[in-house]
Amino acid sequence: MAQPLLVTAEEAGQKLLQFLARRFDEPQGVLHRWIRTGQVRINGGRAKPFDRVDFGDEVRVPPFAGGGAQAAAPVKEDRSLLPPIVAETDELIVFCKPAGLPVHPGTGHTDSLTARLEKSFAGAPFMPAPVHRLDRDTSGVLMFARDPETKELFQSHWNEMVTRRGYLAVV
């Protein structure tokens, strides 16, 4: 039986599927199958792909999964693929998203801002995640959270209308 994986402070708050994807070089379909068939457990209990992992959780994976495990490599950021950065803090990265670049991959297009971030932040315990969206054909300022707490905070602000967004069209 393989040793359980311990969730680090930097990984805490991620969805189980994201946690496994950052630890194993396996297709998402394989990771889903491991979870669905009960081969992945959090603290001994069955889990779902979108359950969140907490600091110190023990995540059990199938014994044969060790072959795909990635060692925790130092993060080396390559920002050459990313659109211009407007602002950056320890909690947020703000991009100037060009028109034509989708935020997430989808039918007919594999290039997206999140795919570029996955390549740019390979090895990071938490990949920056968008706190809101813009349509593919819309250019504008787009915020990405560097940790799960910031993402949840900003999303709750949008939902509760504490923060408002505005659109400006130049003709």
Cβ atoms of 81 and 120 closer than 8 Å: yes
Crossing angle for the helix pair 16-23 and 28-36, to the nearest 10 degrees: 130
Residues designated catalytic: 135
**Domain residue ranges of the chain, discontinuous segments joined by +:** 5-68, 79-159
Residue 87 CA: distances (Å) to CA of 54, 76, 112, 114, 139: 29, 20, 20, 18, 16
**C-alpha span between 134 and 103 (Å, rounded):** 7
Q: Which overall architecture, per CATH, does domain 79-159 show?
A: 2-Layer Sandwich (3.30)
* Residue 145 host element (H or E): strand 140-145
**C-alpha span between 47 and 27 (Å, rounded):** 18
Q: pTM to 2 decimals?
A: 0.63
pLDDT by 10s per residue, the chain, length 171? 567 889 988 888 888 988 888 888 787 788 888 999 988 999 999 999 989 999 999 999 887 765 544 444 445 567 778 899 999 999 999 999 999 999 888 777 778 898 888 888 877 778 888 988 888 888 889 999 988 888 889 888 888 888 877 777 788
CATH says 5-68 is which class? alpha beta
